[in-house]
Amino acid sequence: MYRQRFLLKLLVRKELKVRYRGSVLGIIWSYVKPGVQFIVFYVALGVFLGLEQSSTNKSGLPNYAIYLFSGIILINFFTEALGNASRSIVGNGGLIKKIYLPRQLFPVASVWVSAVHFFPQLLILVVACLFSDWHPSFLQLLAAVAGFIIIALLATGLGLLFGAANVYFRDSENFVDMLLMIATWASPVMYSWTMVQHKLGEAWYSIYQVNPITIAVETFHYAFWLPTTDGSAGIPPHLLSLWIPVGLLVSAAVLVWGQLTFRRLEGRFAQEL
Amino acid sequence: MTTAIEVTGISKQFVLRHTRSLKEAFIWLIKGRKGDLSEKFHALRDVDLVVEQGETVALLGFNGSGKSTLLKHISGVMIPDSGTVRTRGKVAGLIEVGAGFHHDLSGRDNVYLNGAILGMTEEQINERFQSIIDFAEIGQFIDTEVKFYSSGMYLRLAFSVAVHTNPEVFLVDEILAVGDEPFQQKCIAKIQELAAEGRTLVVVSHDLDLVSRICSRGVVLDHGHVTFDGSIHDAVAKLRGA
Ligand SMILES: Nc1ncnc2c1ncn2[C@@H]1O[C@H](COP(=O)(O)OP(=O)(O)OP(=O)(O)O)[C@@H](O)[C@H]1O
Ligand SMILES: [Mg+2]
């Protein structure tokens, strides 16, 4: 176990070093990119498109830029983690078919690398929140941690699954890309959950809510966006008591499923790659 | 004497033509799984091999006879279709030179990464680091990215890391081909030293003179069958005669 931790650490470090090799700003890029992204959202969507709540647009969301960004960074994390994890086995094929080593480290390392890229984005979000008079409670921060864990487990589970499947069918790479595109729209990142409830009705809304990504995005809204508003918007009912446990459970189940599938398929990696 | 490697009746089939698209697989499925999805052939057929601890064995045979495939089964990279492979102690495989090396990392980073891949702990690498670069004679280039190394330097570092993993069983596939004369001598001396310490050695090489110097036993493979198993000189003679 210790040996695996050390190897995992080196694999993550390798990935980060290789990513930023030959660039002057290096890891600072991972601050610049989300920072610029936030400013673009704020100006283009909040100011130009007028999605922000104002006297002329009563139905808009207050602090829309923060609403959007808190969801986006989580989706960014998920997209990068799952996308890279799905490609990690094929990408490291040269090694896997020559040396025996614990192969599940590659998808796991991809998720860790994405987590390293997630934290600068989180920092930008927190700075933006502080400018908007943010005062979260301890419970709200805890909910955000749960949301992050939900996404990390889900990305690892699906990453193991599709990483292994990709060895046999390269189609799964494209399938994952499609899945990731849907993920952005199938969770309340750009819009509010109340719209879904109004349009779909309670039954379908419950199904929509089971999606762990939806739950995780809502925990981030609850932790980062809600405490910057007057709090009148409200959060989905039973988010803490029901949906967070459901999200953790679904993600954990996906992780177990991914691990079992990976174990079943990994015996033939060396010859198929 | 204890047995280091015990390969019992392993067979391995490979497919000749891969189906990589879901479409073909789907058509095959709805047609009621008729026929085989792909053609197959035996890369290894009923191979038995018992290697005692401290033995030095050369695997010989022509291109495509299954030598590398057999080594991959011993190292655990591949799993046989039937039969069993059992090994004792830590196995280090140098299936190919510097398989775990990354071009964009410095020699130093690569020593750590490759060492960890081959199963060393952080303390072990720290402890042996100086000895690794001394053996490789890399010196001041250790912080240069390995893509700027000459192929010989690259090989030296890779070989040096591998011998410092201190394995009980050492698998070597065609790695002594590069490297200048003095370094080759050094490698051979190191391998002989390992063998003298009682390590088990399985070497694949087409350099018959070289293997006769470092190995005492020769196993000849032909189309996945073991056709000869005996002293290295007889094995080399058989291969040359054939
Ligand atoms: N993953 C694979 N899928 C399909 N066929 C394979 C695979 N790996 C090896 N083979 C086939 O198995 C046979 C044996 O290959 P192997 O690499 O073991 O030969 P070798 O004895 O090491 O040859 P060489 O002397 O050229 O290194 C070859 O015909 C090769 O094409
Ligand atoms: Mg070979």
Q: Which pLDDT tens digit goes with each residue over B119-149?
A: 888 999 999 999 999 998 888 898 988 889 8
pLDDT tops 80 at residue A167: yes
Q: From the CB of B61, is ligand 1 less than 6 Å away?
A: yes
Q: Report which of B103, B126, B101, B124 is spatially closest to residue B114, judged by C-alpha positions.
A: B101
Distance CA B52, CA B35 (A): 43
Determine which residue's CA is closest to atom 5 belonging to ligand 1: B14
pLDDT tops 80 at residue B104: yes
pLDDT tops 60 at residue A1: no
CATH architecture of B57-79+91-241: 3-Layer(aba) Sandwich (3.40)
Place of tokens 């040096």: B160
Q: Which of residues 7-46 of B touch A (CB under 8 A)?
A: 14, 18, 20-22, 25
Average pLDDT over residues A177-203: 87
Q: From the CB of B96, is ligand 1 less than 6 Å away?
A: no
Q: Tell me what pLDDT residue B37 has.
A: 62
**Residue type at A271 in one-letter notation:** Q
Q: Report which of B178, B190, B237, B234 is spatially closest to residue B214, judged by C-alpha positions.
A: B190
Question: Which of B42, B67, B219 most suits a substitution to test ligand 1, by most atoms within 8 Å of the C-beta?
Answer: B67
pLDDT tops 90 at residue B217: yes
Q: From the CB of B16, is ligand 1 less than 6 Å away?
A: no
Check CB contact under 8 Å for A6 and B122: yes
One-letter-per-residue 3-state SS of chain A: CHHHHHHHHHHHHHHHHHHCCCCCCHHHHHHHHHHHHHHHHHHHHHHHCCCECCCCCCCCECCHHHHHHHHHHHHHHHHHHHHHHHHHHHHCHHHHCCCCCCCCHHHHHHHHHHHHHHHHHHHHHHHHHHHCCCCCCHHHHHHHHHHHHHHHHHHHHHHHHHHHHHHHCCHHHHHHHHHHHHHHHCCCCCCCHHHHHHHHHHHHHHHHHHCHHHHHHHHHHHHHHHHHCCCCCCCCCCHHHHHHHHHHHHHHHHHHHHHHHHHHHHCCHHHHC
How many Cβ atoms are within 10 Å of B239's Cβ, its own excluded?
18
Q: From the CB of B89, is ligand 1 less than 6 Å away?
A: no
User: Which range, of A125-134, A148-157, B13-22, B169-178, averages the lowest pLDDT?
Assistant: B13-22
pLDDT tops 60 at residue A177: yes
Average pLDDT, chain B: 85
Kindly indicate the confidence band of residue B49, based on its pLDDT and cuts at 50, 70 and 90: very high
The Cβ-side half-sphere exposure at B228, using a 13 Å CA radius, reads: 21
C-beta of residue B5 within 8 angstroms of C-beta of residue B168: no
For chain B, the straight-line distance linking the first and the last C-alpha, in angstroms and rounded, comes to 34
Question: Where exactly are the structural domains of chain A?
Answer: 2-272
Q: Report which of B204, B97, B82 is spatially closest to residue B157, judged by C-alpha positions.
A: B97
A170 Cα–ligand 2 center, Å: 26
**Residue type at B193 in one-letter notation:** E
Average pLDDT, chain A: 88
Helix (H, G, I), strand (E, B) or coil at B74: helix
A264 touches chain B (CB under 8 A): no
Helix (H, G, I), strand (E, B) or coil at B152: helix
Average pLDDT over residues A52-66: 75
pTM of the model: 0.89
Q: Tell me what pLDDT residue A55 has.
A: 67
The pair of structure tokens assigned to A118 is: 């997630």
CA distance to A37, A102, B72, B114, per residue, from B219 (Å): 63, 30, 16, 30
The ipTM assigned to this model is 0.84
Q: From the CB of B66, is ligand 1 less than 6 Å away?
A: yes
Label residues A13-27 b or e (16+ Cβ within 10 Å = b). bbbbbebeeeeeeee
What residues in A contact B25, CB-CB < 8 Å?
A: 169
Average pLDDT over residues B25-32: 77
Q: Tell me what pLDDT residue B119 has.
A: 85
B204 touches chain A (CB under 8 A): no
Partners of B224 in the beta sheet? none
A1 touches chain B (CB under 8 A): no
A115 Cα–ligand 2 center, Å: 39
Distance CA B171, CA B191 (A): 11
Kindly indicate the confidence band of residue B34, based on its pLDDT and cuts at 50, 70 and 90: low
For chain A, the straight-line distance linking the first and the last C-alpha, in angstroms and rounded, comes to 26
Q: Which of A14, A171, A267 sits opposite B21 (nearest CB)?
A: A171
Q: Tell me what pLDDT residue A104 has.
A: 92
Reported for A103-108, long-range contacts at CB under 8 A and 24+ positions apart, including other chains, are A103/A262, A103/A266, A103/A269, A104/A160, A104/A259, A104/A262, A104/A266, A105/A4, A105/A7, A105/A8, A105/A11, A106/A11, A106/A163, A107/A156, A107/A159, A107/A160, A107/A163, A107/A262, A108/A8, A108/A156, A108/A159
CA of B119 vs chain A CAs: smallest distance (Å): 7
What residues in B contact A267, CB-CB < 8 Å?
A: 79
Q: Which pLDDT tens digit goes with each residue over A89-136?
A: 999 988 888 888 889 999 999 999 999 999 989 998 999 899 988 889
Percent of chain B with pLDDT over 90: 33
Q: Tell me what pLDDT residue B36 has.
A: 62
A247 Cα–ligand 1 center, Å: 46
Of all ligands present, the nearest one to the C-alpha of B63 is 1
Q: From the CB of B43, is ligand 1 less than 6 Å away?
A: yes
- Residue A270 or B23, more confident: A270
Q: Tell me what pLDDT residue A130 has.
A: 92
pLDDT tops 60 at residue A73: yes
pLDDT tops 60 at residue A2: no
Q: Tell me what pLDDT residue A11 has.
A: 92
Check CB contact under 8 Å for A18 and B118: no
Question: Which of B17, B18, B65, B211 most suits a substitution to test ligand 1, by most atoms within 8 Å of the C-beta?
Answer: B65
Average pLDDT over residues B9-33: 77
CA of B127 vs chain A CAs: smallest distance (Å): 15
Q: Tell me what pLDDT residue B84 has.
A: 92
Q: Report which of A75, A176, A186, A177 is spatially closest to residue A121, judged by C-alpha positions.
A: A75
Place of tokens 């660039």: A23
User: Which range, of A199-213, B66-80, B170-184, averages the lowest pLDDT?
Assistant: B170-184
